[in-house]
Amino acid sequence: MNDIDLVRDILDTQVLDREKRALGKVDGVGLELRDGAPPRVAYLEIGAVTAWARLGPRFARWATRLASRWQGEAHPYRFPWSRVRDFGIDIEIDADAERAPPLDLERWLRDKVVKRIPGGQ
Amino acid sequence: MKKILGIALGVVTSIGGFLDVGSIATSAQAGAAFGYSLLWAVLLGTICVIFLVEMSGRFSIVSGHTITAAVRKRFGFAGFILPFAAALLVNLLVLASEIGGVCVALQLLTGIGFQVWAIPVAMALWLLLWLATFDVVEDGTALLGLVTLCFVVAVFKLGAQPGELAAGLVPSLPAQERAHYLFLAVSVIGATIAPYLFLFYSSGAIEDKWDKSWITANRVIATSGMSFGALIAMAVMVVAALTLKPQGIRVEEYEQAALMLVPALGGWGFYLFIASLAIACFGAALELSLATAYAAAQAFGWNWGENLKPRAAARFSMTYTVFIALSALIVLSGLNPMKLTLFSMAITAVILPLTVMPFLVLMNDRRYMGSHVNSRFSNVVVTLIVVLSAILAIIAIPLEIIGSR
C-alpha cells in the first residue's frame, strides 16, 4: 500500500484483534507534530468519547462528563500504527479482544446482565 | 445447484416476508376508501424497492462492506449519526406497529383487548431471538408468511376486472377527500420501501459470503421476490376494494378489515386474515429487531452475526432486548394500532431521502463499486421516487392531522 488517506481509509474503519474479533471502529487519529519534519501518525484511537467529540465542542463536553462516571484510565484506547498487522476492508491489530479496554462494556454486560438471564449462558 | 436452491429460498422468503403490518394496514385502508385507485402507489414503491434491494446486494458483493458500516466510513461519524438516529426512531415506531399487529390478531381471535397481549407477544419475540438460531427462525417465519397468498386466491375467486385493475395503476386524483388520498398514497409508498429491508438484505449477503458469481442471482432474487411480494400487497388492496368499499366500510381499525376475506373464502376467511396478520407482523418484527441490532453493531464496530449466542454478543443482544421492550411500551400505551401504523409509514416516507441518498452516493463511488457502479437510469429512478415521496409526505401529514380533527 503506497498511498493511505487518513480520513478516507483509516478513520471509521472496523478494527479487529488478531483472531478477527471485533474491537470497535477507528474513532480518532492522533498526529504528532515534529520540528522540521512532516507530522506523523502517533496513534489510532477507539472510544465513544472520541467519536462523539467529532460532532462539536458541546458534544465533546457532554460525552466527557458522561464517560467520567464509568470509564477508567484506559479510555480512549490508543494503539500505534506498528500494531497493525493487516489493513484492507478492516484493520487487524495485534491485540487480544478478550482483555482489551474497548470491550469493557461488552464484558460488563455479559457478566452482569446477559449471564444472569436464563438462556444467556 | 446450490445456487439455484439459494435463489429459490431467497425468492420464497422475500415473498413471504414482503407483507408486514404496513402493507396490510395501508392497502386495506386504501382499497376500502378509494378502490383500485391507489394501486399505482404500490407499483411505484415496488419499482423503487426492487432497485434498492438489488443495489444493496450488489454493494455488499462488490465492496465487502455492509451498508451501515460503509455509510459511517464514507461520511464520517458526524455525517452518519443523524440519518442513523432517524432510522432508529422510525424502526422503533414500525416495530411497535408490528407488535401491535400481532396483538390485534390475538384480540380478534380471543376477544381479549390488544394491550393485554403487548407483553406476551414482546416476550415471545425476544425469547425466539434469545434462544433460537436466527436463520432458522427467519426462514421459518418467511415460509409461514406464504399464508398471505390467500389474498391472491381471494382476488381470483372474487373475479376482479383486469381492465379496472390496470386503470388503478395510473395515478389520478379523486374528486373528494384529496388530502386523505395523498396521505394514503404516501403511507403505501412508505410501507413498500421499508429501509430495514435493504439494510437487512446487505447484512445477509455478507453473512452468506456472496461473491461476484452471485451478481445475477442477486438480481433475480431482488426482482422476482419483491415483484411477487408486491402482488400480495396489491391483492390486499383489491380484496378490500371488492368487499369492504361496496358496503361503505372505512377501515379505521383492524376489526373492520377482519371480514374482508369472508366473501371469497367463507368462514375460513376470518381465520386466514388473523393468521396472515399475525404471521406477517411477527415475521417482520423478528426481522426488524435483528436489523436494528445489526445496524447498531455495524455502526459502532461490535460483534454481530445471526448465529452468535447472546453471551458472545452482549451489546448486540441487549440492543434488541431494549428495543423490543420500548416498542412493547408504545403498544401498551393504547394508541390505536392502525393509526400508529399509518403514521409510522408516512414518517418512513419522510426520512427516505436521509436513508437512501447516502447509500446512493456509495453506489456511485468507484472506490467501493469499481466497474459495478450504478447506471444513470437507476440513480434517476430511485432519486425521483424517494424525493417525490418525501415531499408528498411532508405535505400530506399535516393535512391528515388537520383533517382528522
Q: What is the pLDDT of residues B20-47, one digit of tens each?
A: 899 999 999 999 999 999 999 999 999 9
Q: Which ipTM was obtained for this model?
A: 0.91
Q: Is B85 on the interface with A (CB under 8 A)?
A: no
Q: Please, which pLDDT band fits residue B58 given cuts at 50, 70 and 90?
A: very high
> Pick from B235, B223, B72: which is nearest to B165 by CA?
B235
Considering only CB atoms, B301 lies closest to which of A11, A15, A120, namely A15
Angle at B293 (CA atoms; ends B105, B314), nearest 5 degrees: 115
Q: Please, which pLDDT band fits residue B185 given cuts at 50, 70 and 90?
A: very high
Considering only CB atoms, A54 lies closest to which of B78, B300, B310, namely B78
Q: Which residue ranges form the domains of chain B, and what is each CATH number?
A: 2-403 (1.20.1740.10)
Kindly report the average pLDDT of chain B as a whole number: 92
With 60 as the cut, is the pLDDT of residue B100 above it?
Answer: yes
pLDDT at residue A121 in the model: 64
Interface probe with A: pick from B68, B311, B322, B365, most Cβ of A within 10 Å: B311
Kindly report the average pLDDT of chain A as a whole number: 88
DSSP annotation of A114: G
Contact A120 B310 (CB under 8 A): yes
Q: Please, which pLDDT band fits residue B134 given cuts at 50, 70 and 90?
A: low
What cell does B194 get? 421499508
The C-alpha atoms of residue B220 and residue B225 are separated, in whole angstroms, by: 8
pLDDT at residue B150 in the model: 95
Q: In what order do the strands lie in the sheet with A84-87?
A: A22-25, A14-16, A91-93, A84-87
**B80 vs A contacts (CB less than 8 Å):** 12
Rounded to two decimals, the pTM is: 0.93
Q: Is B82 on the interface with A (CB under 8 A)?
A: no
- Measured in angstroms, the CA of B113 and the nearest CA of chain A are apart by 29
With 90 as the cut, is the pLDDT of residue A74 above it?
Answer: no
pLDDT at residue B306 in the model: 67
Specify whether the CB–CB gap between B88 and B106 falls below 8 A.
no
**A109 vs B contacts (CB less than 8 Å):** 314-315, 318
Nearest CA in chain A to B131: A119
Kind and range of the H or E run holding B108:
helix B67-110
pLDDT at residue B43 in the model: 96
Q: Which residue ranges form the domains of chain A, and what is each CATH number?
A: 6-116 (2.30.30.240)
With 70 as the cut, is the pLDDT of residue B102 above it?
Answer: yes
What 3-state class would DSSP assign to A91?
strand
pLDDT at residue B196 in the model: 86
What would the pLDDT profile of A39-73 be if each residue is shown by its tens digit? Answer: 999 999 999 899 999 999 999 999 888 888 777 66
pLDDT at residue A2 in the model: 63
With 70 as the cut, is the pLDDT of residue B171 above it?
Answer: yes
What would the pLDDT profile of B294-330 be if each residue is shown by its tens digit? Answer: 999 999 999 887 677 888 899 999 999 999 999 999 9
**A47 vs B contacts (CB less than 8 Å):** none
DSSP annotation of B160: -
- Measured in angstroms, the CA of B130 and the nearest CA of chain A are apart by 7
